[in-house]
Structure 1
Amino acid sequence: MNMLQDPVVVVEGADIYQGDKPVLNDVNFKVFPGEWVFLIGRTGSGKSSLLKTLYADLWLETGSAVVSGYELHKIKHDDIPFLRRKIGIVFQDFQLLTDRTVEENLAFVLKATGWRDPFAIADRITEVLKLVGLGIVHKKMPHQLSGGEQQRVVIARAMLNEPKILMCDEPTGNLDPAVGEQIMHVFKTINRSGTAVLMATHNYDFLKNYPARVLRCEHGEVKDGSTLDII
C-alpha cells in the first residue's frame, strides 16, 4: 500500500441503492494503490451493490465517488467503458464466452479496448496467463478447463489493461476450498505487484489467513476497521 500516492477509490457521503431501495447510507472510505481491502456483510447487506456502483453498473444517486480518476457522480454513459478499462472486475460466475477459446476470450477484450497490433495482443495474452499461473491453455475452450483454471482466466482477463485496482465479488464462491486457496495466492501475487484489491467475500478463513483492512456492511452502514475487529 502506498498512501503517499493519490487514492484509487474515494467515496464520500454516498448512498447506495438496490433498485429503488437504499441499502447503505453515508458511505465514506478510500482505497490506496497496492492496498488490500475485504468487503464483508450478510447477503443483502449491500456488498454487491456497492461494488456495482464503483464500476458504474449502478448509478450513484447521492454523494460522490472517484474511481481511477473518474467522478461517478458526474460520469457520462459514454465514459463508462473508459472507466472499466482502468479497473479489473472479477465475478463469482466466470462469464467467459463459451464458444471461444481462452485466447479468443482475451483477444476480444483487448481489441474492444483499442489494441490493434496482433503481435502485441499475443504477447499480452501470454503475459497475463503466466501471471495467473496458467501454461499453454490458449487454444482450449472454457469447458475443457477446471473451475479453478476458468477463474484464473477470468483474473487474467481482468489484468489485461494493467488496472490499478481489482474489484472482486465472491471470486472463490463457486470453487472448493483448496482451489479457492490457490486463487487467493494468485490475487496476493497481483497485489504484491502494486495492484489494489477490493474483495467481497463470505469466507472468514480468508480474513484469518490474510489479515487486512475490512469494510463491513451492517445495518445500512459501512464500518471501516481491521480483521482483528471482526474475528
Structure 2
Amino acid sequence: MFSSDPVLSLHNADIFQGTKIVLADVSFDVDKGDFVFLIGRTGSGKSSLLKTLYADLWLQAGKGMVAGYSLEKLKPTDVPYLRRKIGIVFQDFQLFMDRNVEDNLLFVLKATGWTDKTKMRNRISEVLMQVGLSSAHRKMPHQMSGGEQQRVVVARAMLNEPMILIADEPTGNLDPVVGEQIMQVFQTINNSGTAVLMATHNYDFLKKYPARILRCEEGRVEEVKN
C-alpha cells in the first residue's frame, strides 16, 4: 500500500520538558524519503522535540502524526508499536556489552515479536551488510571501535524496516573521519527510501550533504531556506 501522507507531521505542537514549554507552535512535515537536519544550540529543544516524536515525552498540545500513529491520542500500550515503525539512533550506543552483535540485534527482534529463527538470522545479516559490518556477528562491543559500535546501533534501528530514522547527534561522540562514514551510512539508508531526521552540531555535513534544515531557536522551529 503506497501512501502519500507524510511519515511525520506536527501541527501547532507545543513541546514540553516537564512543565516548561521549550518549543511553541511547531509545525512541519517529513515526507517519505526526505532527509532533514535538525540544528540549534545545546538546550534549544532539539532532544525534547525528538523525544516527543518517539513518545519518550508526551505531546500535550497540538497535533502530531508519526508513522500512522497520532501522538496526541497515543496510549502507553501503543508506544512499542509506534517504535517498531521508527528507527531511533542515540549519541550513546546503548548496546548490551555482555553479548555479541548478533545477540544485541536478536534481542530487539524478539522484543518486537519476531519468532522465526531463520528470518531473524537473515534480517540480521541484511542490516549488518547495509551498514558495512557483514562479518561482525560474533564480535563483542568492546572489541569494536566507536564507529563500528555506532554502525551496530544504526543496524539495530533498521531491523524492522522503519518508515523514518530519528537520530539524535549520532556522530557527536565520534572523530570526524568516523562521523563522515556514519553519515554515509545514513545517506545510503535514505537513498533506499527511508526518511531521516537527524539532529546534529556538525555544520560541515550541512554544506556537504545538502538537505532540508530545521532550526530550533528561541522557542521556535523554523525551516532554513537554502
With normalisation by structure 1, the TM-score equals 0.96
Q: Identify the residue that residue 131 of structure 2 maps to in structure 1.
A: 132
Report the secondary structure of 1:23's partner residue: strand
Distance 2:146 2:119 in 1: 28
Distance in 2 (alpha carbons) for counterparts of 1:175 and 1:55: 24
Deviations for 1:44-102, whole angstroms, at most 9, x for unmatched residues? 00000000000000011100100000000000000100000000000000000111110
Q: Deviations over 1:106-131 (max 9, x none)?
A: 00000111110111110000000000
| 1:223 aligned residue | 222
Counterpart Cα distance in 1 of 2:164 and 2:126: 18
How many residue pairs get aligned? The number is: 224
TM-score, normalised via structure 2 length: 0.98
1:188-227 to 2 correspondence within 5 Å? 188-226=187-225
| Alignment partner, residue 22 of structure 1 | 21
For residue 225 of structure 1, report the CA deviation from its aligned partner: 2.5
- Matched with 1:55 is 54
Query: What's 1:175 paired with?
Result: 174
Q: Within 5 Å, give how 1:100-119 maps onto structure 2.
A: 100-119=99-118
Q: Give the Cα separation in 2 of the matches to 1:212 and 1:187.
A: 12
Deviation at 1:21, TM superposition (A): 1.1
Q: Where in structure 2 are the equivalents of 1:30-49 lying within 5 Å?
A: 30-49=29-48
Counterpart of 1:108, as a letter, is: F
Counterpart residue type for residue 153 of structure 1: V
- The superposition leaves residues 168-188 of structure 1 with CA deviations (integer Å, 9 ceiling, x where unpaired) of 000000100000000000000
Show structure 1 runs of 5+ residues with no match.
none
Q: What residue number does 2:4 align with?
A: 5
* Mapped partners of 1:196, 1:214: distance in 2: 14
Structure 1 runs (4+) deviating above 4 angstroms are none
Q: Which amino acid aligns with 1:205?
A: D
Structure 1 distance, partners of 2:223, 2:199, is 14
Q: Shift of the alpha carbon at 1:204?
A: 0.3
Question: What is the match of residue 153 of structure 2?
Answer: 154
Give the C-alpha shift of residue 135 in structure 1: 2.5
**Distance in 2, Cα, partners of 1:142 & 1:33:** 32
What amino acid maps onto 1:23 in structure 2? V
| CA distance in 2 between partners of 1:199 and 1:81 (Å) | 21
Counterpart AA for 1:112: A
Q: Which residue of 1 aligns with 2:144?
A: 145
Shift of 1:152: 0.3
Which ranges in structure 2 are unaligned for 5 or more consecutive residues?
none
3-state DSSP class of the match of 1:73? helix
For residue 162 of structure 2, what is the aligned residue in structure 1?
163
CA distance in 2, matches of 1:148, 1:184: 11
Q: Distance in 1 between matches of 2:195 and 2:52?
A: 17
